[in-house]
Structure 1
Amino acid sequence: MSTRILGIELRRSSAVVVGALIAALGVAGLWTLVMSRQGELWDTQWTLLAAFQRIMLVLLWPLALGGGAWQARRDRRSGMEELLGTTPLPTWRRTLPTAVALALCLILGYVLTLAAGAVRVAGRTDHLSGDWVPITAVGALTLVAAGWLGMGIGRLVPSVYTPPVLVVAGFLALLLPIQLAKSSEPGPVSLLVPNLTSNFDEFTTIAGSVSLAQSLWFTGLAGSGLTLLMVARRRRAVVASVPALLGLVVAMPLLGAAPASGLQRDEGATAEVCTRDSGPTVCVTKAHERGLAELVGPARRALTLLAKLPDAPTSVHEVTGDRPGPQPAREAWLHADTYVSGRGWAADSEDAMVAQILAGAGTRPCEPVAYGPRAVASAWLYGRYPAPGLTVLPGEETDERDAEWRKLKALPAQEQVRRIAAVREAEQTCRGDLEAVLAEDAS
């Protein structure tokens, strides 16, 4: 296949139009969220951008499927189908340039979407993980598989209704796993779809075995679509199922051995970056490295206030929700959700940031979150009630928190210290009722 023939296909086929639609819809999906103040769903991390593109495949994949079917009808639309069928040129020689042109345009449309998002992500994080590469590569491969499968089906059923039917059917087929994921635990079969159906955050990545299995499966599916497009006689179309079945057989054992969600912890993003000066150690995750300098001052002030407690912590560490406990006694933990990449720490002042670190006497909240006792512990350590940036609670809960504060302050000084220390111990291990711990004798 010469570059001249490929150039002609790019100019005369609908490949460029389909690729442009993929790019336009993808870019619109990303920036619509930015304009609606939901850009943090994808703009805080490279892997998050790549993953959000995969989520958008619920719309892009059916479009590629229908675009392929529309392209396959070109000969019939132009009235050339019977004439071309009489030429001695093999079918694959006539159809391969068109298939390659469509694949190139689909990949380019997907890459342009990535580039449009990269402009924003580059200015919001210093952590450049390589995990986004296979996530993006598999996403582009799924679009090629959709385009070629659509071309194969469009050639087999060259009806004017085939493209719209494929778009609707493809969308419904991808929507079903999303609905099932809301009500049940995902399984290996749910990982065969091109779009992601599991919750994804900046500390998560797709398992390598899942990306490998998906690449094998969609390579087989693309092969089936291409075979279906190139077979000379329709009765031989059953041969086209072989590549897809082979890809499925190889992929399923890999998916069965992978996590049920297909996701795993991103060790690079959760790695610690710590201060190196002579002061108390303050650490943040690699994903939030830009926030370290801003955190040092409030964190060290919080450590000074925590020194009122026995066996007080000597360092502050930002931790993610899946960090296993129990929390070491000499560490104060700050939950990673208090930082938003590109915006900084959620607290609106340094004093509020200190109070945030002091919540629960320097612990990450357990589930369910006991806001009242955690806020009381923060205020007691800070030396003022309410503490800066105190979480606003419904009326009755605020009254209960006020009552807890008054009861605590009515106790002897040593008993107050013991109660706050008991709150810290309970949150370190996530055991016990925090309300009861604060209200009753710690002994």
Structure 2
Amino acid sequence: MTARVLGIELRRSTAAVLGALVAALGAAGLWVLALSRQTGLWDPQWTMLAAYQRIMLVLLWPLALGGGAWQARRERRCGTEELLGTTPTPPWRRALPSAVAMAGCLVLGYLAILAAGAVRVAGKTDYLPGDWLHIAAVGALTLVAAGWLGMGVGRLLPSACTPPVLVVAGFLVLLVPVQLSKSAEPGPASLLVPNLTTDLDEFTTVAGSVSQAQTLWFLGLAGSGLVLLMAARRRTAVTAPLPALLGLVLALPLLGAAPASGLQRDAGAAAEVCTHDGGPTVCVTKVHEQGLAELVGPARRALKLLAKLPAAPTSVHEVTGDRPGPQPTGEAWLHSDTYLPGRGWVTGSQDALVVRILAGAGTRPCEPIAHGPRAIAAAWLYGRYPAPGQDVMPGEEADARTAAWRKLRALPAEEQARRIAAVREAELDCRGDLAEVLTKGTR
């Protein structure tokens, strides 16, 4: 197949139009979220961008499937089906340029979506994980598989109804796992669909075994589409399921060993990046490395205030919600949800960031979160109530918190310090009723 033949195919087939349509719909799916300020679903991290593209395949994959079927009807639409059937050129040679053009345009369309999102992600994080490219590559492969499968089915059933039926059927098939994921634990079968059914956060990625299994499965599915498209006779089309079955057989053991959700923790994103300037250590997660310089000043101010307590912490660490306890006594922990890529530490001011670190006397929030005692501990360490960032609307909770603050301040200074230290001790290992600890000073 020469470049000239491929160029003619690109000009005369619907592949270029389909690729452009995929790119336009995908890019619009990314940027329409900007109108409602929801780009946080995909722009904080490269893995999230690649994963959100995979979520959009619930629409793009059926489109590629139907577009492939439409392309396969070209000879019948032009009235040249019988004429070309009398030529000595084998069917596979006539179909190959069209299949290559379809695959190339779909991949370029998918890459255009990636490029549309990359301009925003690149400015928000310095973390570049290695597996995001694999997640994106699998997504592109699934579109190729859809295009070729649609072409194969379209050649086998060259009816004008085939393309729209495939679009609707493909959408309904992909929609089922999405709905099931809302009410039940997903199983290995849900990982055989091209689209991801759950959102990722900055510290989550698709398990490597899942990406490998999906690669094998969709390679097999693409192979089945090619067999259908290039079969010389309809009788030989019965062999078309074999590549897909082979891919399925190879993929299922990998999916069985993967997490039920198909997701796992991204250890690289959660790895610590720390200061080394001789002052108290301040650490953030790798994915939030851009926020380290902004955190250093408030974190060290918080450590000075925490020094009022016995066995006071000497370092501040940003931690993710799934980091196991107990919390080391020498560390103050700041939850990672305090930082938003592109917006920084979303506390309103540096004073409010200091208070956020002081919450619970420098501890992570336990479940259930005792907001009142944690806020009172932060206010006591800061020196006033409400402390910056603690403004609350009037109500029963605010009244109860104010009453607890006044009772605490009415105690001797040593007793106040003892109770705040007890709050910290209780939160370090998440044991005890925090409200009772603040009231009595014991667990």
Same fold (TM over 0.5): yes
Cα offset, 1:264, TM superposition? 1.3
Count of equivalent residues: 443
Q: State the partner residue of 1:232.
A: 232
Q: State the partner residue of 2:329.
A: 329
Whole-Å separation in 2 of the counterparts to 1:315 and 1:155: 66
**Residue pair 2:360, 2:378 contacting (<8 A) in 1 also:** yes
**Which amino acid letter does the alignment assign opposite residue 304 of structure 1?**
K
**Residue pair 1:47, 1:132 contacting (<8 A) in 2 also:** yes
Secondary structure at the aligned position of 1:427 is classed as helix
Q: State the partner residue of 2:341.
A: 341
Cα offset, 1:440, TM superposition? 2.8
Q: State the partner residue of 1:28.
A: 28
Task: State the Cα deviation string for residues 325-350 of structure 1 (Å, max 9, x = none).
Answer: 11100000000110001110001111
Whole-Å separation in 2 of the counterparts to 1:197 and 1:435: 40
Task: State the Cα deviation string for residues 101-123 of structure 1 (Å, max 9, x = none).
Answer: 00000000000111111111111
Cα offset, 1:394, TM superposition? 7.0
**Which amino acid letter does the alignment assign opposite residue 385 of structure 1?**
Y
**Which amino acid letter does the alignment assign opposite residue 216 of structure 1?**
L
Cα offset, 1:414, TM superposition? 2.2
**Deviating runs (4+, > 3 A) in structure 1?**
391-394
Whole-Å separation in 2 of the counterparts to 1:42 and 1:10: 32
TM-score w.r.t. length of structure 1: 0.98
Task: State the Cα deviation string for residues 28-81 of structure 1 (Å, max 9, x = none).
Answer: 111111232111111111111111111111111111111111111111111111
Cα offset, 1:435, TM superposition? 2.1
Whole-Å separation in 1 of the counterparts to 2:426 and 2:126: 36
**Which amino acid letter does the alignment assign opposite residue 25 of structure 2?**
L
Q: State the partner residue of 2:250.
A: 250
Q: State the partner residue of 1:19.
A: 19
Q: State the partner residue of 1:111.
A: 111
Task: State the Cα deviation string for residues 264-295 of structure 1 (Å, max 9, x = none).
Answer: 11122111111111110000011111111100
Whole-Å separation in 1 of the counterparts to 2:402 and 2:420: 16
Cα offset, 1:400, TM superposition? 1.8
1:7-406 paired onto structure 2 within 5 Å: 7-390=7-390, 392=392, 395-406=395-406
**Residue pair 1:418, 1:442 contacting (<8 A) in 2 also:** no
Secondary structure at the aligned position of 2:240 is classed as helix
Whole-Å separation in 2 of the counterparts to 1:192 and 1:440: 56
**Which amino acid letter does the alignment assign opposite residue 68 of structure 2?**
G
Secondary structure at the aligned position of 1:327 is classed as coil
Whole-Å separation in 2 of the counterparts to 1:239 and 1:439: 75
Task: State the Cα deviation string for residues 199-232 of structure 1 (Å, max 9, x = none).
Answer: 3111111111111111000000000111111112
Distance 1:336 1:152, change over 3 A: same
Secondary structure at the aligned position of 2:283 is classed as strand
Whole-Å separation in 1 of the counterparts to 2:420 and 2:172: 54
Cα offset, 1:375, TM superposition? 0.8
Whole-Å separation in 2 of the counterparts to 1:96 and 1:430: 63
Whole-Å separation in 1 of the counterparts to 2:441 and 2:421: 12
Cα offset, 1:234, TM superposition? 2.1
Whole-Å separation in 1 of the counterparts to 2:56 and 2:67: 17
Whole-Å separation in 2 of the counterparts to 1:14 and 1:434: 66
Distance 1:167 1:392, change over 3 A: farther
Whole-Å separation in 2 of the counterparts to 1:169 and 1:435: 56
The answer to which of 402-411 and 263-272 deviates more is: 402-411
Task: State the Cα deviation string for residues 355-374 of structure 1 (Å, max 9, x = none).
Answer: 01001111111222221111
Whole-Å separation in 2 of the counterparts to 1:13 and 1:137: 24
TM-score w.r.t. length of structure 2: 0.98
Q: Alignment identity in percent? A: 77
The answer to which of 178-187 and 423-432 deviates more is: 423-432
The root-mean-square deviation of aligned C-alpha atoms, in Å, is 1.3
Gaps of 5+ in 2: none
Cα offset, 1:236, TM superposition? 2.8
The answer to which of 120-129 and 323-332 deviates more is: 120-129
Whole-Å separation in 1 of the counterparts to 2:440 and 2:198: 42
**Residue pair 1:46, 1:129 contacting (<8 A) in 2 also:** yes
